[in-house]
Amino acid sequence: MGLGGVSGGGIGALDKVDRETMGARVYRDLRSLIMAGQVSPGDRLTIRTLAAALGTSMMPVRDAITRLAAEQALEVLPNRTVRVPIMTRARFEEVRTIRLMLEGHAVETAAGIVTPEALARLRALHEEFTAEHNTGDPDPAALIRINKDFHFGIYEAAAMPALLQIIEGLWLQIGPVLNFDLRSKSKRLSERVALRHHGDLLDALGRRDGPAARAALAGDIVSAGDFILRCGSLV
């Protein structure tokens, strides 16, 4: 009986770990999707569709949605449809101001301590971003993904986990709006504005020039934000 009890408890514990691991993966994947701007404000999602896309049952998707709704990254409507929140101009401008302060501090800090390995990863991402622009017809989804990876590669290099967590929360709110910039076939895209700012930021990090890194990031955030405010997509 003792062995049976241990065996049963062990199996039960493994099942619990499996469920928790699946729930964490679904939450992480949905969170990353939103932060990377792969959805747009007002998009409606269904639990069944998300579960099918993620190859899982509906239960971990429901749990992930509950967590993301608490983080204001998703809204659960009265008919139980899930929607990406609509962004107002006032809220966008407020979040942009906060991003300039917090993300600016992160890149300035990163410039002083960034490792050669981190710089190599950032250079590889910048080369990937450049190559996508050079195709002549850049894939918006690829640009959005690389843009997020580049930014967060720098924020992680600052080695400030609490600050990184706050920045992630801001991107959960702002990510779906950023795709208005990179998904558009705008003059800003054809003139490679984001690419230039990324290059300036990377150069500043290589020189360990914190103020220049902060200025390059500010140029990127402000120019993208100004375009989004002009395009009329916010309420």
DSSP structure string for 164-178 = HHHHHHHHHHHHHHH
pLDDT score recorded for residue 184: 64
User: Residue 145: exposed, middle, or buried by beta-carbon count in 10 A (0-12, 13-18, 19+)?
Assistant: buried
pLDDT score recorded for residue 105: 98
Write down the pTM of the prediction. Answer: 0.84
Residues 4, 31: Cα–Cα separation, whole Å: 40
Residues 34, 56: Cα–Cα separation, whole Å: 18
pLDDT score recorded for residue 186: 63
In sequence order, the 6+-apart residues with CB closer than 8 A to the CB of 159 are 109, 113
**Which ranges in the chain are annotated with CATH 1.20.120.530?**
89-230
User: Is-contact 30 65, C-beta < 8 A?
Assistant: yes
Top CATH class, 89-230 = mainly alpha
Dihedral sign of CA atoms 73, 75, 81, 84 in order: negative
Quick one: which H or E segment has residue 75?
A: strand 75-76
pLDDT score recorded for residue 9: 46
Orientation angle between helical segments 89-113 and 193-206, nearest 10 degrees: 30
Under CATH, what is the fold of the domain 2-83? Arc Repressor Mutant, subunit A (1.10.10)
Token readout for 29 is: 């994947």
User: Is-contact 35 172, C-beta < 8 A?
Assistant: yes
* Tens of pLDDT, residue by residue, the chain (235 residues): 444 444 444 444 434 445 568 888 899 989 988 988 888 889 998 888 888 888 888 899 999 999 999 998 999 988 878 999 999 999 999 999 999 999 999 999 999 999 999 999 999 999 999 999 899 888 888 888 899 999 999 999 999 999 999 999 999 988 888 877 766 666 667 678 889 999 999 999 999 999 999 999 999 999 999 988 988 778 8
